[in-house]
């Protein structure tokens, strides 16, 4: 059989469908993926739901359309599956902000603290952590930790700061940020709000406090989507990566969803450059060649799995509830 290297003229959607069946593969996609990828995925979700799907699937292959830490999470939870990520360079600025050696040192300086760690981190940092959280499970998990227990929260200082303000828990924060959510402009957001005075603002907790302070709802991608279904206003301002608007528009075609602006007044600077690396072409090649594959050394995998298992146990029941909810 000759392997086609020139993809011009190929019906990628049909070919991906054919390979999905041939390989007994499941395509999992995050809400920040391009609309064409979201539309052909078997499941589109937030980090917590994607982890659960990866753990529960009986497919032989997981084609993960998201970023590397998400595909690694799938491999940690489903080690017998082949996990492919269309572009292995799809990283995350939060992961980059937290090198494992420095995190290990930080932990060693605070031996009486437990490490509650956002899932947006490397497998090595998961292995150094006690409990992983996602934005949809963080508050529910935090509520189950003894109030006297001291906590390190990393790598997202914005999510950590939001949780600290909302729950009153004093946590030591690692100074990492998401470059995408940091790029929203308060000045431009306020200008937009004057143009749409009745439109609520929904924001992801990775946004800095100056943005969250204007939000009517703060939550994970799934939480924001659910909030959009409940608002009575016909317009909603969405302060997270704008590709999620695709799902909103599909579910609510009569409503208007406006991506919150960056300093240039539009939402294009808030497209996640890592998520954008995945394309239909690369997904097709990943399914065809079963590469790039996620591989994790077994000792490291087992160590990282402990903190992920802790999350899945403590977050059980977080289905459409337990999200961060209305801003305090």
Report the binding-site residues for iminosuccinate: 30, 47, 118-120, 135, 204-206, 221
What is residue 185's three-state secondary structure?
Answer: coil
Partner whose binding site includes residue 135, from ligand SF4, ligand 13P, none (CB under 5 to 8 Å by kind): ligand 13P
Q: Which residue has the tokens 């992983």?
A: 132
Nearer to ligand SF4, 120 or 247 (CB): 120
The region, left, alpha or beta by phi > 0 then psi within -120 to 50, assigned to residue 24 is left
Please measure the distance between the N-terminal and C-terminal CA atoms of the chain and give it in whole angstroms: 61
DSSP E strands, the chain: 25-30, 43-45, 61-65, 82-84, 113-118, 131-133, 150-154, 171-173, 201-203, 217-218, 235-239, 256-259
Decide if residue 120 touches ligand 13P (CB under 6 A). yes
What is residue 155's three-state secondary structure?
Answer: coil
User: What are the C-alpha distances in Å from 13 to residues 71, 245, 273, 283, 299?
Assistant: 22, 22, 23, 10, 38
Nearer to ligand SF4, 49 or 241 (CB): 241
- Helices marked H in 78-147: 93-96, 100-109, 123-127, 138-142
The closest alpha carbon to 138, from 167, 173, 112, 176, belongs to 167
Decide if residue 278 touches ligand 13P (CB under 6 A). no
Q: How many residues bind ligand 13P (CB under 6 A)?
A: 11
Chain residues in the site for ligand SF4 (CB under 6 A): 67, 92-94, 120, 178-180, 206, 241, 272, 274-275
* Annotated binding-site members: 30, 47, 92, 118-120, 135, 178, 204-206, 221, 272
Decide if residue 221 touches ligand 13P (CB under 6 A). yes
Beta-carbon contacts of 65 under 8 Å, excluding residues fewer than 6 positions away, are: 27, 28, 29, 30, 33, 37, 41, 86, 278, 283
* Spatial distance between the Cα atoms of 12 and 18, rounded to a whole number of angstroms: 10
Decide if residue 158 touches ligand 13P (CB under 6 A). no
Among 206, 225, 258, 308, binds ligand 13P (CB under 6 A): 206
Partner whose binding site includes residue 275, from ligand 13P, ligand SF4, none (CB under 5 to 8 Å by kind): ligand SF4
Nearer to ligand 13P, 47 or 117 (CB): 47
**What is the smallest separation between the CB atom of 294 and ligand SF4, expressed in angstroms?**
16
Question: Per CB under 6 A, which region of 134-142, 164-172, 187-195, 296-304 contacts ligand 13P?
Answer: 134-142
* Annotated binding-site members for [4Fe-4S] cluster: 92, 178, 272
What is residue 326's three-state secondary structure?
Answer: strand
Among 46, 87, 95, 124, binds ligand 13P (CB under 6 A): 46
CB 112 within 8 A of CB 150: yes
Nearer to ligand 13P, 77 or 82 (CB): 77
Among 33, 129, 140, 220, binds ligand 13P (CB under 6 A): 220
Which residues bind to ligand 13P, rule: CB under 6 A? 46-47, 120, 134-136, 178, 204, 206, 220-221
């Amino acid at each position: 059989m000759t392997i086609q290297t020139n993809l011009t003229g190929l019906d990628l959607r049909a070919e991906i469908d054919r390979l999905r069946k041939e390989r007994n593969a499941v395509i999992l996609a995050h809400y920040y993926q391009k609309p064409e990828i979201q539309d052909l995925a078997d499941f589109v979700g937030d980090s917590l739901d994607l982890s659960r799907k990866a753990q529960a699937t009986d497919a032989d292959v997981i084609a993960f359309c998201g970023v590397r830490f998400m595909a690694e999470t799938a491999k940690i939870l489903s080690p017998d599956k082949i996990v492919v990520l269309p572009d292995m360079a799809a990283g995350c600025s939060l992961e980059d902000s937290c090198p494992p050696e420095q995190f290990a040192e930080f932990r060693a300086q605070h031996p009486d603290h437990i490490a509650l760690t956002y899932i947006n981190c490397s497998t090595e940092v998961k292995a150094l952590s006690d409990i992983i959280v996602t934005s949809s499970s963080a508050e529910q998990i935090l509520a189950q930790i003894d109030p006297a227990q001291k906590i390190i929260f990393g790598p997202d200082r914005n999510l950590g700061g939001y949780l600290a303000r909302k729950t009153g828990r004093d946590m030591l924060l690692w100074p990492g940020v998401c470059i995408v959510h940091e790029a929203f402009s308060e000045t431009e957001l306020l200008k937009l709000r004057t143009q749409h005075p009745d439109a609520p603002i929904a924001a992801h907790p990775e946004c800095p406090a100056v943005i969250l302070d204007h939000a009517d709802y703060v939550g994970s991608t799934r939480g924001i989507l659910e909030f959009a279904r409940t608002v009575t206003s016909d317009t909603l301002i969405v302060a997270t990566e704008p590709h999620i608007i695709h799902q909103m528009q599909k579910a609510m075609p009569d409503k208007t969803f406006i991506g919150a602006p960056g300093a240039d007044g539009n939402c294009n600077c808030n497209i996640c450059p890592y998520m954008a690396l995945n394309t239909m072409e690369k997904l097709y090649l990943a399914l065809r060649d079963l590469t790039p594959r996620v591989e994790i050394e077994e000792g490291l995998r087992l160590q990282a799995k402990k903190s992920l298992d802790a999350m899945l146990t403590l977050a059980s029941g977080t289905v459409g509830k337990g999200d961060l909810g209305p801003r305090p």
